Amino acid sequence: MTTTSTQANGLGNVAAPIQERDRVTVRFAGDSGDGMQLAGNRFADATAVFGNDFSTLPDFPAEIRAPAGSLAGVSSFQISFSKHLIFTPGDEPDTLVAMNPAALKSHLAALAKGGLLVVNEDAFTAGNLKKANYPSNPLTDGSLDGYRVIKAPATTAAVAAVEDLGLTNQNAERTKNFFALGLVYWLYDRDLQPTLDWIEERFGRLPNIAEANRRALYAGHAYGETTELADAHVRVPPAVLRPGEYRTITGNQALVLGLITAAHLSDLELFYGSYPITPASDVLVELAALREFGVRTFQAEDEISAIGTAIGAAYGGGLGVTGTSGPGIALKSEALNLAVMTELPLIVLDVQRSGPSTGMPTKTEQTDLLQVMFGRNGESPLCVLAAKSPGDCFFMVLEAVRLAFKFVTPVVLLSDTYLANTAEPWPVPDITQLEQIDVPYRRLELGDPADFGPYVRDPDTLARMFVPPGTKGFEHRIGGLEKADLSGDVAYTPENHQRMTDLRAEKVQRIAHFIPELEVDGPESGDLLVLSWGSTYGAVFTAVNDAREAGHEVAHAHLQYMNPFPRNIGDIVSRYRTVLIPEANSGQLRMLIRANFLVDAQGYNEVTGQPLSARLLTEAIIKHATA
Amino acid sequence: MVLQTPTSPNLVKADIPLADVDLKRKDYASDIDTRWCPGCGDYSILAQMQRSLSNLNVAPEKMVFVSGIGCSSRFPYYMNTYGMHSIHGRAPTIASGLKLARPDLMVFVITGDGDALSIGGNHLLHVLRRNVDVKIFLFNNRIYGLTKGQYSPTSELGKVTKSSPVGTTERPLNPLSVALASEATFVARSYDTDPQHLTETIEQAARHHGAAFVEILQNCNIFNDRAFADYTDRNVRDERLLYLEHGQPMLFGEEKDKGLAVSNTGLQVVDAHGPEAGLILNHDATRPSPDLHQLLARCAYPEMPVPMGVIRQVNAPTYGDYLDGQIEVAKFRNRHDIAQLLRGRSTWQVE
């Protein structure tokens, strides 16, 4: 595919004059069976081909099929696209597509007054209105007066378009999402071709279904063209992206690609032990389909077994990885501590979700930072990294693997629901340009077995001498009991425990000498530093820039290394009158910064299950900048 | 892809990595002092393990003992092989990951009744069900020793222990029944005070291709002394134990004068010289269905003789056979070009 900005809709009609805008945010909302995620993803593909920068935010209930038409069953997909580079899926939509009353009820509050509302009027039946707790029909009672409303007969028009194909009623009605998609394509001047190609690829073996979806798509497009919707016809010119080859990527896809690439760059065998858990399951599912890359996936009987098998693979000298979410980390904590005590190169992916307990499995949060830092018995330091964007998940996996083997230590990589599911354009990395990952244990000079000890350490990194089974003459035992320094034998002496406690801590701290320093965007010192970490990068970057445009001087630094911190962070946080730390938790990084550097850091905190709002954060930044 | 199930034991290779020189029992002993209580049954098991490995001439560097927590789980420290003393109940998981990542290694799990059947019960079921090629040795002393005498999941109902001062209120698990319920491909029992039988049983387990489960009755002379003495004492064992041999009639008694036959209600003891002698069964360890094996596993003193030896040994592809087979087929059939993988389903060029 190549980028095009021509209007190849294939219909040949002369469109009404198009308004041009810099950025638009559209939200599709409907029943979880209505195909909103599918529609949203098609729109994202078409947008990618058109050449906008974009970011998406899928939001769906944990229930697979809540009762049809119910408020609990509403699923949505938001996409923001722009002629400029963007870093968030947008706070509030400019356009809301509501496929039924429950979707309208759940999402109308997010739509700006005067915003464009596209509703499937066929779904506004007495039954559906009742399920959404509407006492009267909002389409007729005047409650939508402040919005521009397009009442489209999506169901009946789609059914009419496909009626001679001999589909069941249910299958005919199911095409209504393509009708809605066609209409939105017309509104935003998207090319139909990528979606037509996709329909052929996906449904080619079911010609009737493929034809029905095509017809519904065309019908929706034609509806836009022939109805009086001129004021809603909008075009967002393509963005100027760095030249190169792009694809769309989600955070979970990037984790998968990162793991396979890391195995390739290190020449290690990848073993992924995991137990299905939202929102990390996709990593297991996608890796399981890539056996041709030598991937050994293992769907364990529980979270503990998942990490146990990964520890076994790591002990064997392989690339042992486990992936989970917060509740799974809680279950894995004892085994994770075994990896700390035995000092094994284990990779743990934590795709965070809303807690506590089962919490909100499909919603996002940054609430596992302190859990992975401290949620284990004893003093148990390990390396913690955090990805800042979907594409960054790829590079942080490579970094996690590099550090795990260099320091012979478990490494936790934090992602979250938002990164896992959000999609963005991603410049495809050139595999030949990526640095090989060094695996020091393969080039250890072992010397005389009589002098060998599994806890003899490298003087620079303090990495222990990791010798996997199979090496003749160096047979030894490790385990969860405290180790004697050097020999690794079981030891209970007070001096040894103090020494080993210090060594474990010092080893993790030394990682700071082998990672990049923290960079500050903006003034080197001054009134306000905004310090962020992980998935909030896009929202914080956007908010900082908006505050600057409003005339405020603001510095921004973003952390991807959570433990140890970059070595210059203490110096940086001491150079500003105020340090503001925005987080999708109640202040976990803030607690660490205060504790480590005695800085009276301030927080901006949202724990809503949704990504941070760039607009509200901008207000908070301006407030602190002017305080 | 479906792997062929081997039909004869001869088709299965033993997968035992051999040492290039002749090794003696002491070559498998580490220089760590053993720290079990004097008189503990674990000493005999350790000695027979070392003897078995020497008989098989296993390469020590290719051998890994993985254990959990408990008295028995100290075992790896005393073996001059690779080993990991891990966390309570989880040894089967670590062993599974290790064996799948490193098929060249021989991986043994050492566990106890609390470790395997209480905290680690879930993992035991699944490692056996999956037929991962690891050998599991469960030292059953029917008590928690390392924590000083609480009842275990194999303690008999009503047993008085430190944590059940007026007797337990729960029924015990039968380890063999649990293993058979998981359709383990190798299930056996032996005991600490019969070195020859124990050595042979360990060797048979080691030679099995697939998950092996061996219950070893082990006396804890401190907290549960003589737990098995009623049928393992030298003077009664011939009368009260049934030594199983595949293909041989199930006879027991000093004069081999009694045998096991199928009755309407299960198994029954019949006179080997009486009118029902013709009903005495030959032991078939290889029948795919574990039904008769379950009946054997349920035989308990004093009503029935206590079976010893290999109850079940069937050939089936291991988890690793399937997994490696899938990888081989996928590599043959599908492109595995990372550059192409990174590009995904579709890309676009920005000029």
Nearest Cβ partner of B94 from A246, A315, A476?
Answer: A315
Greater confidence, B4 or A215? A215
Which of chain B's residues have a Cβ under 8 Å away from the Cβ of A334?
87
What mean pLDDT is predicted for residues A602-611? 97
Residue A245 to residue B104, Cβ atoms within 8 A: no
Does residue A464 surpass a pLDDT of 80?
yes
- Name residue B153's amino acid: P
By CB atoms closer than 10 A (0-12, 13-18, 19+), residue A310 is: buried
Nearest to B350 by CA among A249, A198, A20, A239: A239
Q: Tell me whether B34 touches chain A (CB under 8 Å).
A: no
Q: Which residues pair with A386 in a beta bridge?
A: A414
Query: According to the model, what pLDDT value does residue A132 have?
Result: 96
Neighbours of B255 (CB within 10 A): 11
Residue A477 to residue B60, Cβ atoms within 8 A: no
Interface of A with B in 422-481 (CB under 8 A): 428-432, 468-481
pLDDT, mean over chain B: 94
Residue A312 to residue B98, Cβ atoms within 8 A: yes
- Which tens digits make up the pLDDT trace of A288-316? 999 999 999 999 999 999 999 999 999 99
- Which tens digits make up the pLDDT trace of B321-339? 999 999 999 999 999 999 9
Query: According to the model, what pLDDT value does residue A56 have?
Result: 95
Residue B100 to residue A309, Cβ atoms within 8 A: yes
Q: How far apart are CA A192 and CA A6, in angstroms?
A: 12
Nearest Cβ partner of A260 from B32, B335, B338?
Answer: B338
Nearest Cβ partner of A296 from B101, B331, B339?
Answer: B101
pLDDT band at residue A335, thresholds of 50, 70 and 90?
very high
Estimate to the nearest angstrom the gap between the alpha carbon of B250 and the chain centroid: 22
Q: Is B92 helix (H, G, I), strand (E, B) or coil?
A: helix
Does residue B7 surpass a pLDDT of 60?
no
Q: What is the spatial order of strands in the sheet that A95-98 belongs to?
A: A53-59, A74-82, A23-31, A95-98, A116-120, A148-152
What mean pLDDT is predicted for residues A449-463? 96
CA separation (Å) from B68 to A536, B41, B60, B74? 41, 18, 21, 8
The DSSP annotation for A389-455 comes to SHHHHHHHHHHHHHHHHHHT--EEEEEEHHHHH-EEEEEPP-GGGSPPPP-GGGG-----GGG--TB
Q: Which two tokens stand for residue B53?
A: 């490995």
Q: Tell me whether B70 touches chain A (CB under 8 Å).
A: no
Question: Are the CB atoms for A11 and A79 separated by under 8 Å?
Answer: no
The DSSP annotation for A304-342 comes to HHHHHHHHHHHHTTSEEEEEE-HHHHHHHHHHHHHHHHH
Query: According to the model, what pLDDT value does residue B14 have?
Result: 56
Q: Which two tokens stand for residue B333?
A: 């059939």
Query: According to the model, what pLDDT value does residue A62 have?
Result: 83
pLDDT band at residue A587, thresholds of 50, 70 and 90?
very high
Residue A310 to residue B59, Cβ atoms within 8 A: no
Q: Tell me whether A491 touches chain B (CB under 8 Å).
A: no
Does residue A7 surpass a pLDDT of 50?
no
Q: Is B80 helix (H, G, I), strand (E, B) or coil?
A: coil
What mean pLDDT is predicted for residues A130-137? 96
Q: What is the DSSP letter of B187?
A: E
Interface of B with A in 140-199 (CB under 8 A): none
Does residue A151 surpass a pLDDT of 70?
yes
Neighbours of A597 (CB within 10 A): 17
Query: According to the model, what pLDDT value does residue A230 have?
Result: 64
What mean pLDDT is predicted for residues B34-43? 96
**Radius of gyration over every alpha carbon of chain A, rounded to an integer in angstroms:** 27
CA separation (Å) from B301 to A227, B237, B260, B272? 88, 11, 14, 20
Report the gap between the CA of A394 and the closest CA in chain B (Å): 10
Report the gap between the CA of B67 and the closest CA in chain A (Å): 9
What mean pLDDT is predicted for residues A245-261? 97
Query: According to the model, what pLDDT value does residue B264 have?
Result: 87
Query: According to the model, what pLDDT value does residue A32 have?
Result: 87
Nearest to A403 by CA among A395, A624, B141, B158: A395
Please give the interface size between A and B, counted as residue pairs whose CB atoms are below 8 Å apart: 215
Query: According to the model, what pLDDT value does residue A231 have?
Result: 74
Q: pTM for this structure?
A: 0.94
Estimate to the nearest angstrom the gap between the alpha carbon of B143 and the chain centroid: 19
Query: According to the model, what pLDDT value does residue A13 have?
Result: 46
Query: According to the model, what pLDDT value does residue A16 have?
Result: 55
- Which tens digits make up the pLDDT trace of B272-310? 999 999 999 999 999 999 999 999 999 999 999 999 999
What mean pLDDT is predicted for residues A262-280? 98
Greater confidence, A62 or A476? A476
By CB atoms closer than 10 A (0-12, 13-18, 19+), residue B265 is: exposed
Does residue B9 surpass a pLDDT of 50?
no
Does residue B8 surpass a pLDDT of 60?
no
* Burial readout A45-67 (b: 16 or more C-beta within 10 A, e: otherwise): bbbbbbbbbbbbbbbbbeeeebe
Which of chain B's residues have a Cβ under 8 Å away from the Cβ of A273?
97
pLDDT band at residue B2, thresholds of 50, 70 and 90?
very low
- Strand B186-191 and strand A270-274: the pairing is unpaired
Q: Tell me whether B19 touches chain A (CB under 8 Å).
A: no
What mean pLDDT is predicted for residues A209-224? 96
Q: Tell me whether B20 touches chain A (CB under 8 Å).
A: no
Does residue A1 surpass a pLDDT of 90?
no
- Which tens digits make up the pLDDT trace of B159-193? 999 999 999 999 999 999 999 999 999 999 999 99
Query: According to the model, what pLDDT value does residue A5 have?
Result: 37
Report the gap between the CA of A254 and the closest CA in chain B (Å): 9
Q: How far apart are CA B3 and CA A608, in angstroms?
A: 50
Query: According to the model, what pLDDT value does residue A229 have?
Result: 73
Does residue A547 surpass a pLDDT of 80?
yes
Query: According to the model, what pLDDT value does residue A4 have?
Result: 34
Q: Which helix (H) or strand (E) holds A479?
A: strand A477-479
Residue B348 to residue A49, Cβ atoms within 8 A: yes
Does residue A6 surpass a pLDDT of 80?
no
Does residue A10 surpass a pLDDT of 90?
no
What mean pLDDT is predicted for residues A349-375? 97
Does residue B244 surpass a pLDDT of 80?
yes
pLDDT, mean over chain A: 94
